[in-house]
Each structure stands twice: as structure tokens, then as C-alpha cells.
Amino acid sequence: EAGVAQSPRYKIIEKRQSVAFWCNPISGHATLYWYQQILGQGPKLLIQFQNNGVVDDSQLPKDRFSAERLKGVDSTLKIQPAKLEDSAVYLCASSLDRGYEQYFGPGTRLTVT
């Protein structure tokens, strides 16, 4: 069974630029999560989708971050404009449904200079 795929693996941008990350969850998984992991901290949920609907985006900085999950499969997370404090690893995870085991992708390491 293929795991959660993410791209790119690494991205370096200057502040005020925009960036987008892509996630392809495990086939058949209804729930998709984006987490932000800042160095030295645990992952923090940014947004949770159930199929193509948003369940929880309470911790998403909506003035600069946006995410979508078209057709309830792939998802993209965008930052525009980026700030220095957005430097982090962005992890995508999926699960069969809410409450089931979450499988994580390898993450995208973003560096904002």
C-alpha cells in the first residue's frame, strides 16, 4: 500500500514570497490533516478535512494560509505572503476516518529567509 506522498520535500523562499505544498493521501482515506512542526516543537494541526469539507481550521492563520482538497483526494496548502516564522516542516497525514490511525507523509521542510 502506497503511503502519503508530499512534494516538494524542501523549499527555500524569501519572505513575502508565496509557496504551495501538495499532498496525496492514502487511497480511500476520508480524513486529511495538515500539521506545522516548528523546530523543537511537536506538530500542530493547521487544518483538517473530511472528504472535501473543512472540519477544523481554528489554528490556520487565514490571512496568509489557505488550503483546499478538491474532489476529496489531493490537497494543497498555500502560504502568501510568507513570513520568517513560517519556517517549519509541513506534515500531511491521512486516516480512514476521524479517530482512525493517522499516517504521515515525509513532510516539506520550508525555510523562509
Chain residues binding other proteins by CB under 8 A are 4, 31, 33, 35, 40-45, 48, 55-56, 91, 93, 95, 97-99, 101-107
Nearer to other proteins, 14 or 75 (CB): 75
Smallest separation, CB 40 to other proteins (Å): 7
Select 17 or 111, whichever has its Cβ closest to other proteins.
111
Minimum CB distance to other proteins smaller for 67 or for 91 = 91
We find the least distance from the C-beta atom of residue 84 to other proteins, in angstroms, to be 21
- Nearer to other proteins among residue 86 and residue 107 (C-beta): 107
Q: How far is the CB of 44 from other proteins (least distance, A)?
A: 7
Q: Are 59 and 48 in contact (CB under 8 A)?
A: no
| Shortest Å, Cβ 81 to other proteins | 27
* Residues 14, 31: Cα–Cα separation, whole Å: 32
DSSP codes of every residue in the chain:
----EEE-SEEEE-TT--EEEEEE--TT--EEEEEEE-TTS--EEEEEEETTEEEE-TTS-TTTEEEE-GGGS-EEEEESS--GGG-EEEEEEEESSTTSPPEE---EEEEE-
